[in-house]
Structure 1
Amino acid sequence: MYMSENHSQLVKSARITGIWYLLLAISGVLGFMVVHPQVFVSGDPEATLTNLIDQESTARLRLLLEFAIVVSQALTAVWFYKLFKDEDQWASWVMGTWGMTNAVVIMISAIAMASAISIANASMPALEDKVVIIQVLQYIISNAWGIGGLFFGLWLFPMGYLAIKSKRMPVWLGRVILLGGLGYLVSTVVRYSGIDFSYNRFLILPATIGEFWMIGYLLFVGVRNDKN
C-alpha cells in the first residue's frame, strides 16, 4: 500500500513538473522565436526603436512572455527538485539551483526589454541617444540568452543523471539529455570563441529532443512504478 501511494504521489509531482516544463517550452517558443523578431531587429537599433514605439502592445506582449519564461523556469526547477529529492538530494539540489540560475539569466533579459520599452516611449532623451541606448540593451538581451547557454546546458546534466539513476525513466532519455547539455556548453563556447562554424545551432538539437521527450514522459507516464 505504501509503495502504491508513494508512486501515486511521484506521478502527481511528475505531471505538475511536466505542466510547468511545457509552459516553459511554449512561452519560450512564442516569446523568443515568434514575437521577438517582430520587435527586436538584430543589427538594426533604428528599426527596433520604431517597433518599440509603433508596436508597443507587441513589445509588451514580448516582455510578458519573458516573464512567463522566468516564472515557469523557476517553478520547473522547484518541482524537479521535489520529484527527485528522495532519490539523490545533492543532484536534485544542483539541478534546482542551476535551473533557478537560468531564471535569473532570463530575468536580466526581461529587465533590458522593460528598459528598452520605457526609453523608446519616453519624451527624453533625444532620438539619436535613444538609438544608442536601444542598441546597448539589444546586446544585453542577446548576450543574456547567448551566454545563458552555459547554464541552459549545465542544468541538463543533473536532470539526465537523475533520469538514469532513478531507473524510473528510459535510460536513453537520460542519455539524450546529457548529450543535450554537452551540446549547449560546446555551442556557447564555440559561439563566443569567434569560431565560424555554420552548424553550431545543430549542437543544441539533442537538448531540444531530450527536453520535449522529458515533457511528454512527465505528462503522459510520470515515473515508472517498477525501477527494475
Structure 2
Amino acid sequence: MKQIAKISGIAYLMIFIAGFYANFAVLEGLIDSSNQHITTTNFINNHSQFGSGLLGFTIMLFFDVLLVWSLFNLTKSTSKNLSYLASFFRILHAVFFCVALLKLLHIYELTNNVSNSIKLQQVVTELLLDFDTLWTIGLLFFGIHLIVLGYLIIKSTYIPKALGVLLVLAAFGYIIDGMAKLSMSNYDDYKNIFEVIVIMPTVIGEFSLTVWLLIKGFRKKSFKKHSIKTV
C-alpha cells in the first residue's frame, strides 16, 4: 500500500505540473477568444511552444490513466464495487480528453509552416470549440469520479475523512462549471466566477490529497492499512 500511495502521489503531482503548464502557461497564452486572426497567428508563430503544450497535455493524460489503476488499488479494500465505479468514470474522462486532444493535434498540423487565412481561422476556431466542449464533458464525468472517490475516502479508516469531503466539494465545482459552460450562452460573462468555483476547491482538495499521498508514500514508517468493507 505504501508503494501505491507513492505512485498515486507522484502521478497527481505530475498532472498538476503538466496540466498547469500546458493549459495556463501555453494554451491560454496563445488564444485570444475575441480575435480569430490573432489566435491563429499565435499558433503559427509559436508552433514549437504549442507543441510543448501538447506534450504537457499528453503527459497529463498518461498519469491520469495511471491513477485509474493506483487509486483503484488504494481504495478497493473499502469497497471494490465503488472503486470500479470510480475507475469507470475516470476512464470516461480520460477518453473524452484524449479525443479532445486530437483536436489540438489537428490544429498543430494545420498551422505548421503556413500563412494565415480566413478559412484557416474558421477551422482553428471550430477545432478549439470542439476541444473545449469535449474536455468539458469529460470533466463532468471526472466530477462524478471525485464524488465516488471522496465517498470511498470518507468511508476509509486509513485516509483522513477531511480529504474525502474536500474532493466532494471539488467535484461539485467541476459539475457546476461544466453544466454552466454547456448550457449558458453568456457563460463568458461569468467565466471568472466559475473559474474560482472550480480552481479553489480543486487546488485545496486534490493538492491536499497529493501531499498526503506523497508523505505516506515516501516516509520511512510503514503504511498501515485498515478498512471497513462496504457494498
TM-score range, shorter chain: 0.7 to 0.9
- Secondary structure of 1:168's counterpart equals coil
Q: Following TM superposition, by how much is the alpha carbon of 1:144 offset from its aligned partner in structure 2, in angstroms?
A: 2.4
Matched AA of 1:97: F
- Percent identical among aligned pairs is 25
Residue 150 of structure 1: aligned partner: 140
Report if the CA contact (8 A) 2:44-2:113 is conserved. Answer: no
Q: Following TM superposition, by how much is the alpha carbon of 1:216 offset from its aligned partner in structure 2, in angstroms?
A: 0.4
Aligned match for 1:200, one of 190, 194, 205? 194
Q: Following TM superposition, by how much is the alpha carbon of 1:89 offset from its aligned partner in structure 2, in angstroms?
A: 0.9
Aligned match for 1:68, one of 45, 48, 59? 59
Residue 41 of structure 1: aligned partner: 32
When normalised by structure 1's length, the TM-score is 0.87
- Secondary structure of 1:30's counterpart equals helix
When normalised by structure 2's length, the TM-score is 0.85
Residue 164 of structure 2: aligned partner: 174
Q: Which one is further off, 186-195 or 67-76?
A: 186-195
Q: Following TM superposition, by how much is the alpha carbon of 1:160 offset from its aligned partner in structure 2, in angstroms?
A: 0.7
Deviation sequence 1:146-202 (CA, Å, 0-9, x none): 333312211101211111111111111111111211221122223333166563223
* Runs of at least 4 residues off by over 4 Å: 195-198
Matched AA of 1:31: A
Q: Following TM superposition, by how much is the alpha carbon of 1:224 offset from its aligned partner in structure 2, in angstroms?
A: 5.8
Structure 2 unaligned residues grouped into runs of 5+ = none
Aligned match for 2:10, one of 19, 28, 48? 19
Within 5 Å, which residues of 2 pair with 1:1-228?
A: 10-121=1-112, 127-194=117-184, 197=190, 199-204=193-198, 205-222=200-217, 225=224, 227=226
| RMSD between superposed Cα atoms in Å | 2.2
Distance in 2 between residues matched to 1:226 and 1:97, nearest whole Å: 24
Deviation sequence 1:184-223 (CA, Å, 0-9, x none): 1122223333166563223222232110000000000249
Corresponding pairs, count: 218
Q: Following TM superposition, by how much is the alpha carbon of 1:115 offset from its aligned partner in structure 2, in angstroms?
A: 0.4
Q: Following TM superposition, by how much is the alpha carbon of 1:57 offset from its aligned partner in structure 2, in angstroms?
A: 0.5
Matched AA of 1:127: S
- Secondary structure of 1:221's counterpart equals helix
More relative contact order in 1 or in 2 (CA 8 Å, sep 6+)? Answer: 2
